[in-house]
């Protein structure tokens, strides 16, 4: 590591070899006039370390912070101080700040990133009743975001029924009821929007979490998967006339928000979008 790097950052997760997060943060640093390094810490299949040990080592090594991705977001929330009551309610974090060799603050930019992604595509349009497929570390912040956007109801389905029950119990409000569904067809029945908050569709887990035979004709869909940018789910939904919000938008907005938390710097978003669209190399 060279001495002239001003901000040392990283990403902890499983199967993150193709993540574009390093490129986003390093380009953001360049645009903002500062040097940034961003390293992947891929724990997939490793037995010589744990998430907890890796997080502590990143802090001890002097990184300014790390992003946390699948499957460690809820685990991280149990380890790191969280000041924001909304993030405490979410119970999952994807951004950890370090100071003096310790984790000092946890944030969730998946929440803010999703809200920004939805508004960029749908403006002030209300989500209506929404089927949320996946109740884990990305499903929880999206559920909170849907509530803030004015969803009429959230029906959550997860292959782990207990996890869906926990999300519904933790996040339902008088304004926006959250209901755990025993099967995906129940969640989809009459919904205006569908959210995929599972890894299904990414390059390591190909497939469609919402079978076309029961997808219906949603008004809009969102896929948290962004590699690939076009998934089987979004392609099928687009064929059915749905407005498609790409997971790339969540990736972009959560990254911009995390960069600001890590560095205290703002980045010109149009310039960053343009830079990210350029071929690597």
Contact 39, 65 (CB under 8 A): no
How crowded is the C-beta side of 188, counted as CA atoms within 13 Å?
19
DSSP 75-137: HHHTTS----HHHHHHT--SEEEEETTEEEEEE-HHHHHHHHHHHHHHTT----EEEEE--ST
From residue 46, how far is each of 41, 49, 52, 54, 193 by CA, in Å?
A: 11, 7, 13, 11, 38
Q: Which is catalytic among the residues 73, 102, 121, 152?
A: 73
Taking the C-alpha atoms of residue 90 and residue 106, their distance in angstroms, rounded to an integer, is 12
Taking the C-alpha atoms of residue 152 and residue 161, their distance in angstroms, rounded to an integer, is 22
For 58-93, give one letter per residue: b (16+ CB within 10 A) or e: bbeeebbbbbbbbbbbbbbbebbebeeeebeebbbb
Taking the C-alpha atoms of residue 116 and residue 110, their distance in angstroms, rounded to an integer, is 10
| Annotation marks residue 73 as catalytic | yes
DSSP 202-223: BTTS-S-SS-HHHH---SEEEE
Q: Is beta strand 65-68 parallel, antiparallel or unpaired with respect to 7-13?
A: parallel
Rounded to the nearest 5 degrees, what angle is found at the Cα of 151, between the Cα atoms of 150 and 154?
145
Catalytic residue positions, numbered: 73
């Amino acid at each position: 590591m060279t001495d002239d790097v001003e901000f040392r950052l990283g990403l902890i997760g499983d199967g993150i070899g193709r993540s574009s997060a390093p490129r986003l943060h390093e380009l953001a640093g360049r645009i903002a006039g500062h040097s940034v390094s961003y390293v992947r810490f891929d724990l997939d299949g490793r037995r010589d370390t744990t998430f907890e040990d890796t997080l502590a080592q990143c802090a001890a090594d002097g990184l300014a912070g790390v992003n946390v991705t699948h499957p460690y977001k809820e685990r991280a929330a149990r380890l790191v101080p969280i000041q924001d009551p909304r993030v405490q309610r979410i119970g999952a974090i994807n951004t950890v700040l370090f100071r003096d060799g310790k984790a000092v603050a946890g944030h969730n930019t998946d929440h803010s990133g999703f809200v920004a992604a939805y508004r960029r595509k749908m403006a002030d349009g209300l989500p209506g009743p929404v089927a949320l497929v996946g109740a884990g570390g990305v499903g929880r912040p999206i559920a909170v975001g849907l509530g803030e956007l004015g969803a009429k109801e959230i029906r959550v389905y997860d292959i782990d029924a207990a996890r869906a029950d926990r999300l519904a119990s933790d996040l339902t409000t008088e304004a926006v009821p959250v209901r755990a569904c025993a099967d995906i067809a129940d969640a989809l029945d009459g919904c205006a929007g569908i959210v995929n908050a599972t890894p299904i569709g990414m390059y390591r887990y190909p497939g469609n979490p919402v079978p076309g035979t029961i997808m219906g004709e949603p008004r809009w869909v969102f896929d948290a998967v962004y590699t690939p940018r076009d998934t089987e789910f979004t392609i099928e939904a687009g064929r059915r006339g749905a407005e498609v919000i790409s997971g790339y938008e969540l990736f972009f907005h959560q990254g911009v928000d995390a960069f600001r938390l890590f560095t205290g710097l703002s980045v010109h978003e149009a310039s960053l979008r343009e830079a990210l669209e350029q071929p690597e190399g």
